[in-house]
Amino acid sequence: MQVTRTRLGRGRTPDEVLLLLEERARLRGLGTAAGLCGDWFGSRAVLAPEVCLEPSSDAFSVPDRCPPVDAPPGTVGGGWFGYLSYDLTDPSGRRTPLPAAVWGWADHVLRLDADGWWWFESLGDDRAAEFAELLTRPAPSVTWRAGPLHRPLPAEHADAVKACVHAIEAGELFQANICTRFEGSFAGSPAALFAAGVRRLQPRRAAFLTGGWGSVVSLSPELFLARHGDRVRSTPIKGTLPRRGPADDVLARQLRESVKDVAENVMITDLVRNDLGRVCAVGSVRVPELLRVRPAPGVWHLESTVEGRVVTSDADLLAATFPPGSVTGAPKIRALELIAELEPRPRGVYTGAIGLASPVAGLELNVAIRTFELHGDRIALGVGGGITADSAADAEWQECLHKAAPLEALLA
């Protein structure tokens, strides 16, 4: 199998093109559009014009079904778009209304390269002329309405944080991520919500999936896994402070010097290193970047990078590393158990992973944080943070509010 590709033009933003594709798919009954925006496969956007996303019962093995393809470097061509929800590995067996995993095959994509050019890339028929004409049309005007998100009582989250701290003090684990869930009403276009989020927040790892089962609007800043050939990379985020303005470098320095936040990041980086060590060549796992301060919507984050030379299938890679270490804890198994004990609601897609497995470009998945889940007329947003022995319940609640603030403002 070979990829055909045609350069189409430039000047259209990813949010505009996604809305055009979503309208096209809806009017023609061609499934739905899907999209990855920000920094994916060395590109600014990879959009599927038409894909049928269905629940999957064999979630980890789907990426290994990609056929062999010859293509020039930098090409994506198509592949499996989908998500893996945290519920797949929740020891309690709890579920939200969305499926535990969803995948769908797209045999052609529109890709926005780093220089601002749109490309039509296909593993099948060449329909470049149709999409070249589509890019000349005005974006459709679609909207949404959302009520204020209902928050649980702060005391509920505080009790969970305090119980987690007690477990850490008792030596049961070093760290765990404790989360909560904000919920509200929603009407209108999930694609319009995603487009507005991409335009206003410019997240690095945004993803949009939709189907008869519901919709996922992910405005994530975090990379879970990027596998290209036999090289794999993960960039866990741990450590957060609010951003106060465009010139708040003092806060960024405070984050890098925070004993609690640095400890969070180092512990999770070590966990990710151990997870990758299970499926990488001996001696190949390294940490090329530790404790980098990076901005995200509303907050500063600490992030580190772990990489290695993977020697297994994608299914084995996912089994060894999912769910992401940055949203579970260390040691991971006990953290998963404690999360199930202390969090009163299932997480759903939140803290799972969303992305694309391409037979040409490899596998890339985000960590599904800053992510809206939509089902019927309801919308949910998960928020949380890492708990260590030094955590204070009030500060952890404030961190949840800081992370949610840009997304709540987007809804409003």
C-alpha distances (whole Å) from 32 to each of 44, 187, 216, 317, 369 are 20, 18, 13, 29, 23
Specify the 3-state DSSP secondary structure of 279.
coil
Residue 271 carries which side chain, given as an amino acid letter?
A: L
Residue positions annotated with a catalytic role: 222, 238
CA neighbor of 245 nearest in space, from 189, 283, 187, 295 = 295
**Alpha-carbon dihedral sign for residues 155, 161, 165, 168:** positive
CA–CA dist 89, 49 (Å, integer): 31
Chain Cα centroid distance, residue 366: 3
**CA dihedral defined by 340, 343, 348, 351, rounded to 10 degrees?**
-90
Q: Which of 136-169 are b and which e, b meaning 16 or more Cβ less than 10 Å from the residue's Cβ?
A: eeebeeeebebeebebeebeebeebbbbbbebbe
Number of Cβ within 10 Å of residue 93's Cβ equals 8
DSSP 8-state code for residue 250: H
